[in-house]
Amino acid sequence: MKRLAAALALVPLLAVPAGAGTARNLPGTTCPAFPADNYWHADVSKLPVSGRSAQWLSHMSPTRRLHPDFGGTYGLPVTYVSGIHAKVGVTFDYASESDRVGYPLGSDTRIEGGSDQHAVVVDRSTCTLYETWDTRKSGTRWYAGSGAHWNLKSNALRPDGWTSADAAGLAILPGLLRYDEVAAGHVDHAIRFTTNITDRHHLWPARHDAGSVSDLTYPRMGARFRLKASFAISSYRPDTRAVLQAMKTYGLVLADNGSPWYFQGEQSSRWASGMLDQLKTIPASAFEAVDTSSLRISANSAQAR
Protein backbone atom coordinates (compact mmCIF):
# COMPACT_ATOMS: atom_id res chain seq x y z
CA MET A 1 0.00 0.00 0.00
CA LYS A 2 2.88 2.41 0.78
CA ARG A 3 4.41 1.81 -2.66
CA LEU A 4 1.01 2.39 -4.30
CA ALA A 5 0.44 5.61 -2.38
CA ALA A 6 3.89 6.86 -3.36
CA ALA A 7 3.25 6.06 -7.01
CA LEU A 8 -0.11 7.82 -6.98
CA ALA A 9 1.46 10.88 -5.38
CA LEU A 10 3.52 11.30 -8.55
CA VAL A 11 0.48 11.15 -10.84
CA PRO A 12 -0.74 14.67 -11.67
CA LEU A 13 -4.43 15.38 -11.88
CA LEU A 14 -5.24 15.79 -15.56
CA ALA A 15 -6.38 19.25 -16.57
CA VAL A 16 -9.81 18.96 -18.17
CA PRO A 17 -11.59 22.06 -19.50
CA ALA A 18 -14.81 22.92 -17.71
CA GLY A 19 -17.79 21.55 -19.57
CA ALA A 20 -15.69 19.22 -21.71
CA GLY A 21 -17.26 15.82 -22.29
CA THR A 22 -14.83 12.94 -22.09
CA ALA A 23 -15.23 9.18 -22.30
CA ARG A 24 -12.13 7.15 -21.55
CA ASN A 25 -12.22 3.66 -23.05
CA LEU A 26 -12.73 0.75 -20.68
CA PRO A 27 -9.50 -1.11 -19.84
CA GLY A 28 -8.25 -3.33 -22.66
CA THR A 29 -11.04 -2.29 -25.03
CA THR A 30 -11.98 0.30 -27.63
CA CYS A 31 -15.31 0.72 -25.88
CA PRO A 32 -16.32 3.86 -23.96
CA ALA A 33 -18.64 3.65 -20.98
CA PHE A 34 -21.21 5.35 -23.27
CA PRO A 35 -20.46 8.30 -25.60
CA ALA A 36 -18.80 11.50 -24.43
CA ASP A 37 -22.11 13.39 -24.81
CA ASN A 38 -23.95 10.92 -22.57
CA TYR A 39 -25.64 12.01 -19.34
CA TRP A 40 -23.07 10.13 -17.23
CA HIS A 41 -20.29 12.33 -18.67
CA ALA A 42 -22.15 15.64 -18.39
CA ASP A 43 -20.48 18.41 -16.40
CA VAL A 44 -22.98 19.55 -13.75
CA SER A 45 -20.68 21.94 -11.90
CA LYS A 46 -22.44 25.05 -13.26
CA LEU A 47 -26.04 23.79 -13.13
CA PRO A 48 -28.47 25.46 -10.73
CA VAL A 49 -29.24 23.92 -7.37
CA SER A 50 -32.49 21.97 -7.41
CA GLY A 51 -35.44 23.56 -5.65
CA ARG A 52 -35.86 20.23 -3.85
CA SER A 53 -32.27 20.05 -2.63
CA ALA A 54 -32.85 20.93 1.03
CA GLN A 55 -35.93 18.70 1.28
CA TRP A 56 -34.23 15.70 -0.31
CA LEU A 57 -31.11 16.04 1.80
CA SER A 58 -33.17 16.23 4.98
CA HIS A 59 -34.45 12.71 4.23
CA MET A 60 -31.01 11.26 3.41
CA SER A 61 -29.36 11.06 6.82
CA PRO A 62 -27.61 14.44 6.38
CA THR A 63 -25.35 13.91 9.39
CA ARG A 64 -23.75 10.85 7.79
CA ARG A 65 -20.50 10.69 5.89
CA LEU A 66 -19.72 9.13 2.53
CA HIS A 67 -19.09 5.41 2.44
CA PRO A 68 -17.08 3.90 -0.45
CA ASP A 69 -18.87 0.59 -0.97
CA PHE A 70 -15.89 -1.10 -2.60
CA GLY A 71 -12.37 -2.26 -1.85
CA GLY A 72 -10.07 -5.24 -2.19
CA THR A 73 -12.59 -7.99 -1.48
CA TYR A 74 -15.88 -6.23 -2.12
CA GLY A 75 -17.45 -4.00 -4.72
CA LEU A 76 -18.84 -4.80 -8.15
CA PRO A 77 -16.54 -6.97 -10.26
CA VAL A 78 -16.52 -6.43 -14.04
CA THR A 79 -15.96 -9.34 -16.42
CA TYR A 80 -14.56 -8.74 -19.91
CA VAL A 81 -15.21 -11.31 -22.65
CA SER A 82 -14.62 -11.67 -26.38
CA GLY A 83 -17.30 -11.93 -29.03
CA ILE A 84 -16.88 -15.69 -29.26
CA HIS A 85 -17.89 -16.25 -25.64
CA ALA A 86 -20.82 -18.64 -25.39
CA LYS A 87 -24.16 -17.02 -24.57
CA VAL A 88 -26.85 -18.56 -22.41
CA GLY A 89 -30.52 -18.01 -21.84
CA VAL A 90 -31.49 -16.57 -18.45
CA THR A 91 -34.78 -17.10 -16.63
CA PHE A 92 -35.84 -13.81 -15.00
CA ASP A 93 -38.09 -13.13 -12.03
CA TYR A 94 -39.07 -9.82 -13.67
CA ALA A 95 -39.22 -11.18 -17.20
CA SER A 96 -41.58 -8.54 -18.61
CA GLU A 97 -38.98 -5.80 -18.01
CA SER A 98 -35.84 -7.82 -18.78
CA ASP A 99 -34.05 -8.18 -22.11
CA ARG A 100 -34.53 -11.67 -23.49
CA VAL A 101 -31.22 -12.06 -25.26
CA GLY A 102 -28.31 -14.42 -24.83
CA TYR A 103 -26.01 -13.38 -21.97
CA PRO A 104 -22.27 -14.24 -22.00
CA LEU A 105 -22.34 -15.91 -18.58
CA GLY A 106 -20.15 -18.85 -17.62
CA SER A 107 -17.63 -20.18 -15.15
CA ASP A 108 -15.50 -17.08 -15.79
CA THR A 109 -18.27 -14.65 -14.78
CA ARG A 110 -17.45 -12.68 -11.67
CA ILE A 111 -20.56 -12.16 -9.54
CA GLU A 112 -20.90 -9.59 -6.78
CA GLY A 113 -21.01 -10.97 -3.26
CA GLY A 114 -23.78 -10.18 -0.81
CA SER A 115 -27.49 -10.11 -1.51
CA ASP A 116 -27.49 -8.20 -4.83
CA GLN A 117 -25.33 -10.65 -6.79
CA HIS A 118 -24.90 -8.35 -9.76
CA ALA A 119 -23.08 -9.59 -12.84
CA VAL A 120 -21.55 -6.90 -15.07
CA VAL A 121 -20.11 -8.25 -18.33
CA VAL A 122 -18.58 -6.32 -21.24
CA ASP A 123 -18.17 -7.91 -24.66
CA ARG A 124 -15.05 -6.07 -25.81
CA SER A 125 -15.55 -7.17 -29.43
CA THR A 126 -19.01 -5.67 -29.89
CA CYS A 127 -18.93 -3.06 -27.08
CA THR A 128 -22.07 -4.59 -25.61
CA LEU A 129 -22.75 -4.36 -21.89
CA TYR A 130 -24.75 -7.08 -20.13
CA GLU A 131 -25.95 -6.70 -16.53
CA THR A 132 -28.03 -8.95 -14.30
CA TRP A 133 -29.26 -8.70 -10.73
CA ASP A 134 -29.68 -11.58 -8.26
CA THR A 135 -27.63 -13.74 -10.60
CA ARG A 136 -27.43 -17.47 -9.84
CA LYS A 137 -26.98 -20.83 -11.49
CA SER A 138 -28.81 -24.05 -10.66
CA GLY A 139 -27.56 -27.13 -12.44
CA THR A 140 -26.99 -26.03 -16.03
CA ARG A 141 -29.52 -23.18 -16.00
CA TRP A 142 -28.98 -19.51 -15.21
CA TYR A 143 -31.46 -17.39 -13.26
CA ALA A 144 -31.63 -13.70 -12.28
CA GLY A 145 -34.05 -11.20 -10.85
CA SER A 146 -33.72 -8.93 -13.90
CA GLY A 147 -31.33 -8.24 -16.75
CA ALA A 148 -30.53 -5.71 -19.45
CA HIS A 149 -28.04 -5.04 -22.22
CA TRP A 150 -26.74 -1.86 -23.88
CA ASN A 151 -24.66 -0.77 -26.85
CA LEU A 152 -21.88 1.18 -25.14
CA LYS A 153 -21.51 3.42 -28.20
CA SER A 154 -25.17 4.47 -28.11
CA ASN A 155 -27.21 6.89 -26.01
CA ALA A 156 -30.40 4.84 -26.27
CA LEU A 157 -32.39 4.33 -23.08
CA ARG A 158 -34.57 1.45 -21.95
CA PRO A 159 -38.37 1.81 -22.28
CA ASP A 160 -39.70 4.17 -19.65
CA GLY A 161 -41.03 2.18 -16.70
CA TRP A 162 -38.60 -0.72 -17.17
CA THR A 163 -36.09 -1.74 -14.55
CA SER A 164 -32.62 -3.03 -15.43
CA ALA A 165 -30.17 -4.69 -13.06
CA ASP A 166 -30.56 -1.45 -11.09
CA ALA A 167 -33.67 0.06 -9.49
CA ALA A 168 -33.33 3.22 -11.59
CA GLY A 169 -33.42 1.29 -14.88
CA LEU A 170 -29.96 2.60 -15.74
CA ALA A 171 -26.73 0.78 -16.46
CA ILE A 172 -24.48 0.14 -13.46
CA LEU A 173 -21.09 0.15 -15.19
CA PRO A 174 -20.86 3.85 -16.17
CA GLY A 175 -21.41 4.88 -12.55
CA LEU A 176 -18.69 2.67 -11.04
CA LEU A 177 -15.39 4.13 -9.96
CA ARG A 178 -12.59 2.21 -11.66
CA TYR A 179 -9.05 1.87 -10.39
CA ASP A 180 -7.49 2.72 -13.78
CA GLU A 181 -9.16 6.13 -14.01
CA VAL A 182 -8.49 7.10 -10.39
CA ALA A 183 -4.82 6.09 -10.78
CA ALA A 184 -4.64 8.19 -13.97
CA GLY A 185 -5.85 11.20 -11.98
CA HIS A 186 -9.15 11.89 -13.74
CA VAL A 187 -12.61 10.37 -13.42
CA ASP A 188 -14.80 11.42 -16.36
CA HIS A 189 -18.28 10.48 -15.17
CA ALA A 190 -20.85 10.68 -12.40
CA ILE A 191 -20.80 8.03 -9.66
CA ARG A 192 -23.61 5.69 -8.69
CA PHE A 193 -24.87 5.87 -5.10
CA THR A 194 -27.77 4.79 -2.88
CA THR A 195 -30.08 5.99 -0.15
CA ASN A 196 -32.64 4.13 1.90
CA ILE A 197 -36.00 5.88 1.33
CA THR A 198 -36.98 7.16 -2.11
CA ASP A 199 -40.09 8.58 -3.75
CA ARG A 200 -42.19 6.57 -6.21
CA HIS A 201 -41.11 8.76 -9.14
CA HIS A 202 -38.00 8.96 -11.29
CA LEU A 203 -36.15 11.69 -13.13
CA TRP A 204 -34.68 11.53 -16.63
CA PRO A 205 -32.71 9.56 -17.65
CA ALA A 206 -33.80 7.05 -14.98
CA ARG A 207 -36.51 4.74 -16.31
CA HIS A 208 -37.80 3.10 -13.16
CA ASP A 209 -38.36 3.71 -9.47
CA ALA A 210 -38.61 1.47 -6.43
CA GLY A 211 -39.63 3.96 -3.79
CA SER A 212 -41.49 3.23 -0.59
CA VAL A 213 -43.20 6.64 -0.27
CA SER A 214 -45.27 8.87 -2.54
CA ASP A 215 -43.77 12.11 -1.33
CA LEU A 216 -41.89 14.54 -3.56
CA THR A 217 -39.87 15.80 -0.60
CA TYR A 218 -37.97 12.50 -0.78
CA PRO A 219 -35.32 11.99 -3.48
CA ARG A 220 -36.21 10.18 -6.70
CA MET A 221 -34.29 7.67 -8.77
CA GLY A 222 -32.07 9.59 -11.18
CA ALA A 223 -31.60 12.55 -8.82
CA ARG A 224 -28.13 14.02 -9.15
CA PHE A 225 -26.03 15.53 -6.38
CA ARG A 226 -22.68 17.31 -6.49
CA LEU A 227 -20.00 18.13 -3.97
CA LYS A 228 -20.22 21.86 -3.32
CA ALA A 229 -17.66 24.03 -5.08
CA SER A 230 -16.76 25.58 -1.73
CA PHE A 231 -15.61 22.26 -0.27
CA ALA A 232 -11.79 22.40 -0.17
CA ILE A 233 -10.01 19.33 -1.53
CA SER A 234 -6.39 20.48 -1.91
CA SER A 235 -5.21 18.81 1.30
CA TYR A 236 -6.27 15.31 0.27
CA ARG A 237 -4.21 12.58 -1.38
CA PRO A 238 -4.01 12.76 -5.20
CA ASP A 239 -6.24 9.71 -5.67
CA THR A 240 -8.80 11.05 -3.18
CA ARG A 241 -8.73 14.41 -4.96
CA ALA A 242 -9.45 12.72 -8.29
CA VAL A 243 -12.61 11.20 -6.82
CA LEU A 244 -13.68 14.39 -5.05
CA GLN A 245 -13.12 16.45 -8.20
CA ALA A 246 -15.37 14.04 -10.09
CA MET A 247 -18.01 14.56 -7.42
CA LYS A 248 -17.75 18.31 -8.00
CA THR A 249 -17.72 18.13 -11.81
CA TYR A 250 -19.98 15.15 -12.58
CA GLY A 251 -21.65 14.43 -9.25
CA LEU A 252 -23.46 11.41 -7.87
CA VAL A 253 -26.50 9.71 -9.41
CA LEU A 254 -29.12 8.09 -7.19
CA ALA A 255 -29.48 4.65 -8.75
CA ASP A 256 -30.77 2.20 -6.15
CA ASN A 257 -32.17 1.78 -2.66
CA GLY A 258 -29.60 0.97 0.00
CA SER A 259 -27.65 2.52 2.81
CA PRO A 260 -27.54 6.34 2.60
CA TRP A 261 -24.45 7.80 0.92
CA TYR A 262 -22.91 4.48 -0.09
CA PHE A 263 -21.24 4.95 -3.49
CA GLN A 264 -19.98 2.18 -5.72
CA GLY A 265 -16.77 1.15 -7.42
CA GLU A 266 -15.27 -1.91 -9.02
CA GLN A 267 -13.84 -4.68 -6.90
CA SER A 268 -10.05 -4.48 -7.03
CA SER A 269 -7.21 -5.45 -4.74
CA ARG A 270 -5.37 -2.31 -5.88
CA TRP A 271 -7.54 0.24 -4.07
CA ALA A 272 -5.49 2.12 -1.47
CA SER A 273 -6.83 1.98 2.07
CA GLY A 274 -5.62 5.54 2.64
CA MET A 275 -7.89 6.83 -0.12
CA LEU A 276 -10.88 4.86 1.15
CA ASP A 277 -10.31 6.14 4.68
CA GLN A 278 -10.20 9.75 3.50
CA LEU A 279 -13.37 9.36 1.46
CA LYS A 280 -15.16 8.13 4.58
CA THR A 281 -14.55 11.53 6.22
CA ILE A 282 -16.53 13.56 3.64
CA PRO A 283 -19.81 14.79 5.18
CA ALA A 284 -23.14 14.37 3.40
CA SER A 285 -23.82 18.00 4.28
CA ALA A 286 -21.16 19.01 1.72
CA PHE A 287 -23.49 17.96 -1.14
CA GLU A 288 -26.38 19.63 -2.92
CA ALA A 289 -28.93 18.36 -5.43
CA VAL A 290 -28.74 19.90 -8.90
CA ASP A 291 -31.41 20.64 -11.49
CA THR A 292 -30.44 18.59 -14.56
CA SER A 293 -33.52 19.39 -16.65
CA SER A 294 -31.51 21.61 -19.01
CA LEU A 295 -29.34 18.64 -20.02
CA ARG A 296 -32.18 16.71 -21.63
CA ILE A 297 -32.45 16.73 -25.40
CA SER A 298 -34.92 13.86 -25.79
CA ALA A 299 -36.96 11.94 -23.22
CA ASN A 300 -35.85 8.64 -24.75
CA SER A 301 -32.15 9.36 -25.12
CA ALA A 302 -29.35 9.83 -22.58
CA GLN A 303 -27.63 12.34 -24.87
CA ALA A 304 -27.01 15.50 -22.88
CA ARG A 305 -26.43 19.12 -23.83
How does pLDDT run across 177-196, given as a tens digit for each residue? 999 999 999 999 999 999 99
pLDDT in the model for residue 280: 98
Q: Is the pLDDT of residue 158 over 50?
A: yes
How crowded is residue 153: how many other Cβ atoms within 10 Å of its Cβ? 14
- The helix (H) or strand (E) run that includes residue 248 is helix 238-249
Q: CA separation (Å) from 198 to 113, 137, 257, 260, 288?
A: 24, 31, 7, 11, 16
pLDDT in the model for residue 22: 75
8 Å CB contact between 164 and 94: no
Q: CA separation (Å) from 40 to 216, 251, 266?
A: 24, 9, 17
17-31, 87-101, 232-246: segment of lowest average pLDDT: 17-31
Name the packing angle between helices 238-249 and 2-9 (round to 10°).
Answer: 60
Q: Alpha-carbon distance 34 to 203, whole Å?
A: 19
Average confidence (pLDDT) over 149-177: 98
Q: Alpha-carbon distance 23 to 34, whole Å?
A: 7
pLDDT in tens, 47-81: 999 999 999 999 999 999 999 999 988 999 999 99
pLDDT in the model for residue 151: 98
Q: Alpha-carbon distance 123 to 159, whole Å?
A: 23
Q: Is the pLDDT of residue 287 over 90?
A: yes
